[in-house]
């Protein structure tokens, strides 16, 4: 599992606990083989889908399109789970424990704080471990049976780089500006919620304005050394950023302002100010990054093709 996948999986579980199980009071939205998708399942999936789309720069989808995407994802998830049940892929307790330790380290969390977050969202630690076990099994299956189908030549890498240079400009170095709201003096949940609301308001103002607006907001609200320069950090190395900030940087388009980002010590708002120019000379330096991006893209395409084939041999009833 890549770092980004692990982090996204953690936050999805914390925010939108999964429950692909039948509940008597729930309306059945779909039947996939012997499994069902309920109204609650779909509602949670739509919420997760909207949260994902909110971070991505693409055309605005209608509620109907979002619902269809969410339902398709749930159907694919059940198809995948049923495939895994019949596979010989094994996940040990050590695999699960190692994955959780990695997630805790990458997110600067203690086991106790993770358990507290899970409890607030109605999930026990044992349930979380089972979620992790299923996710690891999915990744192992993909690595064993889907990944080997992907063949990437040197020419594929060069072509993809030439056609998509924009997405590699911020792989190593980016120009950033930030607004920092420290958490050090926050005493309780009420104060935290008030600070987060303030951060949300600042973020919305920054998103509606330009660089001048961001600098004015940083000088007024930010509590760090860069505040006097309007939050401008200049060019920074992505690997030197915290995991939360680095992940957000990858999701931003040039000139875009993030939503409030929660780090261990602050609520942070960032603006992607500039990206370095690239040329054909940078290909060798970025070769591994290009391969990873193209490989992930091809694997997703192969997985979708595989799941489409699986749909042909199983009973599916969308209601």
Q: pLDDT value at position 6?
A: 40
Indicate yes or no: pTM above 0.75. Answer: no
Q: How confident is the model at residue 54 (pLDDT cuts 50, 70, 90)?
A: low
The CATH number of the domain holding residue 145 is: 1.10.4030.10
Give me the sign of the Cα torsion angle 229, 232, 236, 241.
positive
Tokens of 104: 């805790």
Shared domain check, 213 and 111: no
The CATH number of the domain holding residue 216 is: 3.10.50.40
Q: pLDDT value at position 56?
A: 54
Q: Using an 8 Å Cβ cutoff, are 22 and 41 in contact? A: no
Q: How confident is the model at residue 21 (pLDDT cuts 50, 70, 90)?
A: very low
pLDDT digits (tens, 9 = 90+) for 149-167: 999 999 999 999 888 877 7
pLDDT digits (tens, 9 = 90+) for 275-296: 888 777 788 888 999 999 999 9
Flag whether 92 is in a domain: yes
Question: From the CB of residue 254, how many other CB atoms can be counted at a distance below 10 Å?
Answer: 15
Which letter does DSSP use for residue 172 in this model? S
Concatenated DSSP letters for 241-274?
S-HHHHHHHHHPPTT-BPPPEE-SSEEEEEEEEE
Q: Using an 8 Å Cβ cutoff, are 319 and 38 in contact? A: no
Q: What's the burial of 38, exposed, middle or buried (CB within 10 Å: 0-12/13-18/19+)?
A: buried
End-to-end CA distance of the chain: give it in Å, rounded: 34
Q: How many domains does the chain have?
A: 2
Shared domain check, 194 and 141: no
Which structural domain, as residue segments, surrounds residue 259?
A: 170-274
Flag whether 161 is in a domain: no
Q: Report how far residue 316's alpha carbon sits from residue 3's, in angstroms, rounded to the nearest whole number.
A: 34
Q: pLDDT value at position 55?
A: 55
β pairing state of 232-237 and 28-32: unpaired
Shared domain check, 225 and 176: yes
Concatenated DSSP letters for 49-63?
HHHHHHHS-SPPPPH
Across the chain, mean pLDDT equals 85
Shared domain check, 58 and 176: no
Q: Report how far residue 145's alpha carbon sits from residue 80's, in angstroms, rounded to the nearest whole number.
A: 12
pLDDT of 180 higher than 90: yes
Shared domain check, 145 and 96: yes
């Amino acid at each position: 599992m890549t770092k980004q996948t692990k982090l996204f999986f953690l936050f999805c579980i914390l925010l939108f606990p999964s429950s692909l199980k039948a509940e008597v009071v729930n309306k059945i939205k779909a039947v996939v083989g012997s499994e069902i998708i309920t109204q609650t399942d779909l509602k949670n999936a739509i919420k997760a889908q909207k949260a994902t789309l909110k971070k991505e720069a693409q055309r605005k989808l209608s509620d109907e399109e979002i619902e269809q995407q969410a339902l398709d994802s749930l159907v694919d998830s059940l198809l995948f789970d049923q495939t895994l049940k019949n596979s010989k892929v094994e996940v040990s307790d050590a695999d699960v424990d190692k994955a959780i330790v990695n997630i805790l380290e990458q997110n600067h969390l203690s086991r106790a704080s993770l358990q507290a977050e899970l409890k607030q969202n109605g999930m026990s630690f044992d349930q979380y471990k089972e979620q992790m076990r299923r996710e690891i099994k999915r990744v192992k299956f993909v690595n064993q049976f889907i990944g080997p189908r992907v063949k990437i030549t040197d020419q594929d890498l060069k072509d993809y780089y030439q056609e998509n240079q924009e997405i590699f400009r911020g792989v190593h170095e980016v120009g950033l500006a930030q607004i920092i709201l420290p958490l050090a003096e926050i005493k309780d949940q009420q104060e935290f919620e008030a600070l987060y609301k303030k951060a949300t308001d600042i973020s919305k103002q920054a998103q509606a304005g330009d660089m001048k607006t961001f600098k004015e907001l940083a000088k007024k609200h930010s509590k760090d050394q860069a505040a006097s320069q309007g939050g401008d950090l200049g060019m920074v190395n992505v690997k030197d950023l915290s995991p939360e900030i680095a992940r957000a940087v990858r999701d931003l388009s040039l000139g875009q302002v993030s939503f409030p980002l929660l780090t261990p010590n602050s609520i942070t708002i960032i603006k992607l100010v500039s990206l370095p120019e690239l040329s054909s000379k940078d290909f060798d330096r970025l070769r591994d990054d290009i391969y990873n991006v193209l490989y992930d893209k091809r694997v997703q395409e192969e997985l979708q093709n595989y799941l489409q084939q699986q749909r042909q041999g199983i009973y599916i009833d969308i209601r």
